[in-house]
Chain A
Amino acid sequence: MKVTGHQRHGLWLAYIAHRLSGLALALFLPLHFWVLSLALNDRAALDGFLSWTDFWYIKVAEFGLVFLLSFHFFGGLRLMALEWLPWSARQKTYAATALAAGFAVSTSFFLSATIYG
């Protein structure tokens, strides 16, 4: 995908980042539900699966996942505010805030997972 002339502005990038994070989360969901189903059907397999989270690279992947989730969540709030509240001229600030909030939540998660396991 190539970002062309008229797309080179912050709010278009916020749009595409929101869309791609949503798609990535949708692709992850089947795996998420499958792992959850192990709690009912195969507890030993679930424990084995969860033990993977001790590996550093899985923690980094989890950081990415939490970032996608929190960024998409805050981006969704931004869009709902845009559509349902009186217009505000600070749209770029809100998009940047969604990104910062997503990063803050995922970094907190990563530090907590690294320190407390």
Chain B
Amino acid sequence: MTQPLQPDQQSLKVRIWRGAGDEGRYETFDVPVLESQTILDVVSYIQQYMDASLTYRFACRVGMCGSCAMMVNGVPRWTCRTHVKKITDKAGSLTIAPLRNLPVIKDLVVDMDVFFDKWVRAEAVHHPTRSIEQGVQLVDEETAERQAANAAIECINCAVCYAACDVVASNPEYLGPAALNRAWSLVNDVRDGARDEILEAVSGTGGCHNCHSQQSCQKYCPNELNPTASIAGLKRETAKFALQNFLTPVKNDKAKKDKAEKNMKRERV
């Protein structure tokens, strides 16, 4: 870690959000400018040398865990992978705030429960089709479905897309880009046994059809994923699914009943 600011050292004005819940304000700190300095370095410097009560969250420091995401000059970013020099504004100042669209616990730490609850609401959890005795299912990597699943699979739940989404901001019921992206990955995964349930979950209130295609999610995803494309895929599949249910309701009801019985048997086993 660096030493405290020296009198002749170049410094950076950093405004940091302090407070809990809806109450809070920005506090300004002078932080020394260093070579290859990241936003997380700046926050860590303040916490270690200037105000030990500053609360923030991080783990890996190398863009693997996704826990250090914050709003930096109004844009959601991984602070560990964002260099100060690349994003400071013309005045050389920096504003750091907790992630948007999530309740603030304290200072720069947000409560991620809402975010993960929406993953569950979107049925964006794996629904196994095999028991351990049946062995591993072979997956054909060449199919279009598998490639669509692979394209969406590298999400590490950092909530950058969720914070960038204006639909989430205006409609708290909206499941959000990350949960829908994960749902799209599972819809295309042959190992998942609940395709219909997922399509039903993502077409209800707050589902994929709420998306306005503003595309901030794909613009700011640090892993270069494209939730907008995933949501567009879900819109197409849910429309086909609804049409299919409308045209052959009896057949689909029977299929649902069979599936429910199969699931119950599996649970008993």
Binding site for B on A (CB under 8 A): 4-7, 9, 11-12, 15, 19, 79, 82-84, 87, 91
Contacts and interface: CB of A to CB of B under 8 A. Distances in A.
A7 B229 contact: no
A87 B214 contact: no
B212 A15 contact: yes
B76 interface: yes
Which label, helix, strand, loop or mixed, suits the secondary structure of the A interface? helix
Contact of A12 (B163, B216, B226, B229): B216
A6 B232 contact: no
Contacts of B119: none
Contacts of A91: 215
Contacts of A19: 212
Contact of A6 (B220, B226, B228, B236): B220
Interface size class of B (residues with CB under 8 A): 20 to 34
B73 interface: yes
Interface in B208-236: 212-216, 219-220, 226, 228-229, 232-233, 235-236
Given A5-B73, A6-B75, A6-B220, A12 B236 contact: no
A83 B164 CA distance: 20
B74 interface: yes
A82 B75 contact: no
Contact of B74 (A6, A12, A15): A6
B166 A83 contact: no
A25 to B, nearest CB: 18
A12 B214 contact: yes
A87 B181 CA distance: 14
Contacts of B74: 4-6
A15 B218 CA distance: 14
Contacts of A5: 71, 73-75
